[in-house]
Amino acid sequence: MVELIEIYGSDLVHSHRQEERYEQALALFSEAFGSGPVDVFRVPGRVNLIGEHTDYSQGYVLPVALDRDVLFIARPRTDGTIRLANAEAAFPPESFVLSDAISPAVHGHWSNYVRGASQMMAQRLGATRGMDVLVDGRAPWGIPRGAGLSSSSALTVAAAVALEHVNGLAVDRQVLAEACGYAEWYVGTRGGIMDQFAALLSHQGHALFLDCRPEAGTGRYHTQAVPLPPEYAIVVVNSGVRHRNTSPLFNTRVAEVRSAVALVQQRFPQVRSLRDLEGIPWESYVDLLPEEQSPDDLAQRGISLATLMNGGIMPDSVNLQVRARCRHVTGENARVLAAVEALAQGDVERLAKLMREAHASARDNFDISTPELESLVRLAEEIPGVKGARLTGAGWGGCIVALVPVTSVETFVSRVPQGYQRATGLRAEAFVCSAGHGASRVTEYTRS
């Protein structure tokens, strides 16, 4: 358990606002479920400094947990029912019974992330006891939704952590993080494990280096807390642009990188993911990777896209951009390793160069940028001293991240949104982030 000061810092004004936030959430819980003992959990969002779309290729990532989080107030029940309420009226109450085969709500319903976590906890860890829950992810302290800052994964992790406690379990954090990654398959995505590891294993003031391939034999993942330069702030700018449905786009990228692996395996059978292309010259396999490849073309070469997607939502019948996607992932893995080295050496200029290269590759090779994100990056780079502005998250809207000198933060958060509105007619929200703790059970607000 941790105290608020450990999570949010010692600034008195900020601490008071967080106290008010927690008290309001507790009052809403009491309105929904009555008074009595509760446990309060909070799970952070994350911003990825570098390493975009590499985790599901068993690559490297460098996320930072944020001080923006979701609150999850829970009370154990004596049966297996899970009752959900939300601080926001847009998300109606819901209930279901904890089991290893939970029926989903309608597609896109907010409760499906909790359902997926609950089913996973029952299947893998034997959870049987339900709970009453109040979820609070309201602005300004909640994680912006649809911005690529992992609000959905935070909800999944929060449900898992709460059920772990309610059921008296003690689960290794890596085991739980990996399980939460699989739990999101419930909603149809085939993502990686970065979001869940960042939510559970992050340390204040540090980025989290994660090697997304488990070690042979132990199944453990290599992680490393990487100190961030204190003279720079991490500033996230939300473009306000949210793609209506990113799941087909995301799953298409998964299909493309898995198709690339299947094609390369025809010459290099030892390759299990694009991660295994480290050390193999690009020229030795690029001829195996067409610029475009249709599902029918793959089938003619003995490759089943349905098998590669392992039951995930299939992409539309479009040509897969195999070569460019492979170029991005292999280059991005190398950039992450170089970024960790740069941070260890205090070389912010080198880190900034790597982040700029990562943005260009995400735009040109992985095709996940938008005109709005490009506008934000240009505006950010016009502020003196700003380092490494780039899109972050899944893409197709959402946010950029930049390293901003502490002395330039006020200028940045004023000028960039103003310039963005002039250029696009849209409003952008800039917020200064602290590298925060992973998921926590909060001492002050856990009441027996």
Q: Which residues are catalytic?
A: 195
CB atoms near residue 20 (< 10 Å): 10
Whole-number Å distance between alpha carbons of 310 and 84: 31
Tokens of 203: 């340390």
Beta strand 440-441 with 39-50 is antiparallel
Q: Is the dihedral of CA 250, 224, 196, 29 positive or negative?
A: negative
Q: Is the dihedral of CA 362, 368, 370, 373 positive or negative?
A: negative
Q: Is the dihedral of CA 393, 257, 365, 228 positive or negative?
A: positive
Whole-number Å distance between alpha carbons of 65 and 198: 6
What is the three-state SS of the chain? Answer: CECHHHHHCCCHHHHHHHHHHHHHHHHHHHHHHCCCCEEEEEEEEEEEEECCCCHHHCCEEEEEEEEEEEEEEEEECCCCEEEEEECCCCCCCEEEECCCCCCCCCCCCCHHHHHHHHHHHHHHHCCCCCEEEEEECCCCCCCCCCCCCCHHHHHHHHHHHHHHHHCCCCCCHHHHHHHHHHHHHHHCCCCCCHHHHHHHHCCCCEEEEEECCCCCCCCCCCEEEEECCCCEEEEEEEEEEECCCCHHHHHHHHHHHHHHHHHHCCCCCCCCCHHHHCCCCHHHCHHHCCCCECHHHHHHCCCCHHHHHCCCCCCCCCCECHHHHHHHHHHHHHHHHHHHHHHHCCCHHHHHHHHHHHHHHHHHCCCCCCHHHHHHHHHHHCCCCCEEEEEECCCCEEEEEEEEEHHHHHHHHHHHHHHHHHHHCCCCEEEEECCCCCCEEECCCCEC
Comparing C-alpha atoms, which of 196, 202, 224 is closest to residue 211?
224
